[in-house]
Structure 1
Amino acid sequence: MHEYYGSLNLLIRNPSFELGGSFIWTQTEPIKKILKQIELFVIKVEIDSQWPVMGSDITLSCTISRLSDTIKLQWKQRNSSQENRRINTDEIQLNNTVYLIIRHAGTENQNLYTWEVQENNSIILSGKINIDVNQ
């Protein structure tokens, strides 16, 4: 946290998942009042196997530090021939995590998968993860 010409700046670089939450700036004198409140959402994306083998199941997970009623998490498979097409996959949401289970992974599953965070049906954040299936 830095003070710069009468203002207060907070810079968080590469926040850990545990830093997700509310940050509240308060004034204590002459009276106590909230000056600013910011919600920091942190995303954690994981794959259960870095080197999946042909025919095995692969699980991708995307976890957000806090999931409000207006926020939605989802996975999409990006394929050059058909956008948003899913092959042999199931998506499960449990609390703040959405899982994409790829069953019997094969060459048709080798591709780029995208996770998305949407607020009120607008994409506010997305990222990519590539799956390479070994034969």
Structure 2
Amino acid sequence: MDILKVSRKHGLSKGFSRTFDDALFLDDEIDKRLVTAVLEEKKETTWDKKLAEDPDWIFKRVKRVVPPPKDLYPMVKKPFETYRPLRCARTRRPLFDFENWKQAKNVLTAIHLGHVSDLPGIPFYFVRG
């Protein structure tokens, strides 16, 4: 989310961003099953290997959804709680200073109020090729 700014120079920023994205956006289960079958049968690889090598390939083929607030809130809260006390190995600074933590609380409030989740019955995705 654009309103959450963490230092890109921090050693944990990339890991946090990935964990945050994975908590916020869930893979559509039907798409994931279909892509997994193709990867295993025709590409002779697995979902996890392809995701590590070329996530763009995966996300061009799999819809991602933002679940309802009651499901989303605890999933997004966990990365904040996990990464909050951790410090950069090089600088010894926390990933979340006072201002970042204030932003994180605003994100959690927006999620709790339902301002982040997909709306039921309104498709945000379209076929790409």
* TM-score normalized by the length of structure 2: 0.27
Q: Which has more strand, going by share of residues?
A: 1
Higher RCO (C-alpha under 8 Å, 6+ residues apart): 2
**Largest Rg, 1 or 2:** 1
